[in-house]
Amino acid sequence: MATLNDAQKMVDVLGKFIDIVSKELPDDVMAKLSELRVQEANPLAKTIYDVMFDNLDKAKKLNRPACQDTGVIQFFVRAGAKFPLLGDLRRILREATISATKSAPLRLNAVEVFDEVNTGTNVGTNVPFIEWEIVDDSSNIEIEVYQAGGGCSLPGRSIVLPPLAGYEGAMKFVFDTIVDWGINACPPLVVGVGIGTCSNSAALLSKKAMLRPVGTSHPHPKAAEMEKTIEEGLNAIGLGPQGISGKNSVMAVHVEGMAHHPSVLGVGVTVGCWANRHGVIRFDEHLNYEIISHKGVKL
């Protein structure tokens, strides 16, 4: 039976985790950035990479958010149906957000809708934003936190194409979005592409794709090849870090899909900036936890 103490414990753990995610990049992103950094020859691009890595060192050492835009806090919950605190989780995530906002401190980024006034607490109507998924019948839960800055949220979009536009139309939508909007989203980017059956299914799948760890491929061989082909294509454009031009444009391209209505092909694009602040933590029913995304980090 879950108690009030358990709920408070989860608030504390998640609050500390959100705080850490604003200050240290996950292992997958760090590994990829290190790989891309050595490939650059352009002096301006090299200078930018030097500052990026200096910034990550300083953020860790001084215990500060790496980027001043700590985003609107978003959670992706993958729950077992029997996780004991499921009914209280919305409140727990909200409290954890408020706690991390004070401790980190995070920027106050929640502007209340209709009144257009900053709430001053970093929470508001439907913020933190939560996506729920019941994945099995277990009593475990996996929570992913994502801190999406304004700059990398801006390019996000989805479209529903007629079937004759097909995958060719989908690719044009992806490439146009990245070239027209990607420069200000702080490249090298993580690009998520969703193939769905309506605007929101395509958008949701693109977000899931973007959040998949860098360095993983889709299990379907054609999807995996699509990821590799789009990545090569976007890198050939050579946006470079911050769009200053350079060897690469992206850290990764991930594609997720679903069966779709024969008359439509939904396409979604979501991008993440180089300072891709996402983190995954798993709890069991006793609230023992394991941090998946940041090895060796202690809360």
Partner 1 sequence: MKKILTTPIQDEDIKSLKVGDIVYLSGTLVTCRDEGHRRVIAENTMPKLPMDRIAIFHAGPIVKDVEGGWEMVSIGPTTSMRMERYEKEFLAKTGVKLVIGKGGMGAKTAEGCKESIAVHAVFPGGCGVVAAEQVEKIEGKEWPEFGMPEAFWVLKVKEFGPLIISIDTEGNNLFETNKVTFHERKEEALAKTSKHIVSMIAKS
Residues that bind partner 1 (CB under 8 A): 44, 47-48, 51-52, 54-55, 58-59, 62, 64-70, 105-109, 111, 118, 120, 149-151, 154, 166-168, 171-172, 175-176, 179, 183-184, 186, 222, 225-226, 229-230, 232-234, 236-239, 241-245, 273-275
Contact between 289 and 13 under an 8 Å Cβ cutoff? The reply is: yes
Q: Which is nearer to partner 1, 10 or 66 (CB)?
A: 66
Q: How far is the CB of 138 from partner 1 (least distance, A)?
A: 36
Task: Report CA-CA distances (Å) from 174 to 82, 134, 167, 191, 233.
Answer: 39, 30, 10, 9, 11
State in angstroms the smallest separation of the CB of 69 from partner 1: 7
**What does DSSP say about strands 117-118 and 250-257: parallel, antiparallel, or unpaired?**
unpaired
Helices (H), the chain: 4-21, 27-37, 43-62, 89-103, 150-153, 166-181, 199-211, 221-237
3-state secondary structure of 273: coil
CB of 184 to partner 1, least distance (A): 4
What minimum distance in Å lies between the beta carbon of 11 and partner 1? 22
- Nearest approach in angstroms of CB 242 to partner 1 is 6
Q: Which is nearer to partner 1, 199 or 245 (CB)?
A: 245
Closer to partner 1 by CB, 83 or 173: give it: 173
| Residue 77 φ/ψ, nearest 5 degrees | -105, 125
Taking alpha carbons only, the member of 127, 130, 192 closest to residue 155 is: 192
Classify strands 117-118 and 111-112 as parallel, antiparallel or unpaired.
antiparallel
**Minimum CB distance to partner 1, residue 94 (Å):** 20
Which tokens belong to 154? 């801006």
Side chain identity, residue 22? S
DSSP string, 210-255: HHSPTT---SSHHHHHHHHHHHHHHHHH---GGGS--S-SEEEEEE
When the beta carbons of 36 and 79 are compared against partner 1, the nearer one is: 36
Q: Which is nearer to partner 1, 35 or 168 (CB)?
A: 168
Cα 76 to Cα 94: distance, rounded to the nearest angstrom: 13
Q: Closer to partner 1 at the Cβ: 181 or 292?
A: 181
CB of 223 to partner 1, least distance (A): 10
59 or 86, CB closer to partner 1?
59
- The one-letter amino acid code at 48 reads I
CB of 9 to partner 1, least distance (A): 27
Is the CB of 92 or the CB of 294 nearer to partner 1? 294
> How far from the centroid of its chain's Cα atoms is residue 112's Cα?
22
